[in-house]
Amino acid sequence: MRTPTVLATLARGVGAGLAGTAVMTAFQRLVEQPITRRPDSLAPAEIAEALLPVHPSTPAARSRLNWVAHFGFGTVWGAGHALASGAGLRGQRAVHVVFALGYPADVLVAMALGVYHPSRWSRQDWVVDVLDKYVALQATAFVHDRFLAPRR
């Protein structure tokens, strides 16, 4: 049995991250947003605009950028999970380690870019942000560990 290359490990993580982001998006649309009445977030587009030389000129273009960034950031979570898995962490241990490292980094980067202002967030804002990303990571781990990189 061969050990997968780092590139193969990351590719599996990216795939799992895309799937996890799709699950998170469904959760947001079908569960969280109907309960909270929260509108769609444009934070992914705002972060992308702060990091890249892209500045959409129409609402439709900004919406497309938001979707691309939303799923793009999900691939980062997937890559993180895949690397943790490659280091021997599986299941809930991997989920919690990746979340404990990734969530603060996610918030700090968005704060540094001026997109997030957690000191102004309500309790509900915090719960929604943590829960949505936790759902994404749980789904990412499930897809990765069950289908893309199962234990032999």
Q: Is the pLDDT of residue 3 over 90?
A: no
User: What is the per-residue pLDDT for 152?
Assistant: 63
User: What is the per-residue pLDDT for 150?
Assistant: 87
At residue 54's C-alpha, the angle toward residues 50 and 57, to 5°, is 115
User: What is the per-residue pLDDT for 125?
Assistant: 98
Give 88-115 pLDDT, tens digit per residue.
Answer: 999 999 999 999 999 999 999 999 999 9
Give 11-69 pLDDT, tens digit per residue.
Answer: 999 999 999 999 999 999 999 999 999 999 999 999 999 999 999 999 999 999 999 99
* Number of residues assigned to the chain: 152
The candidate with the shortest Cα–Cα distance to 144, out of 25, 29, 1, 21, is: 21
Domain definitions of the chain by residue range: 6-148
Q: How confident is the model at residue 146 (pLDDT cuts 50, 70, 90)?
A: very high
User: What is the per-residue pLDDT for 69?
Assistant: 98
User: What is the per-residue pLDDT for 151?
Assistant: 82
Spatial distance between the Cα atoms of 70 and 134, rounded to a whole number of angstroms:
15
Beta-carbon contacts of 124 under 8 Å, excluding residues fewer than 6 positions away, are 36
User: What is the per-residue pLDDT for 2?
Assistant: 82
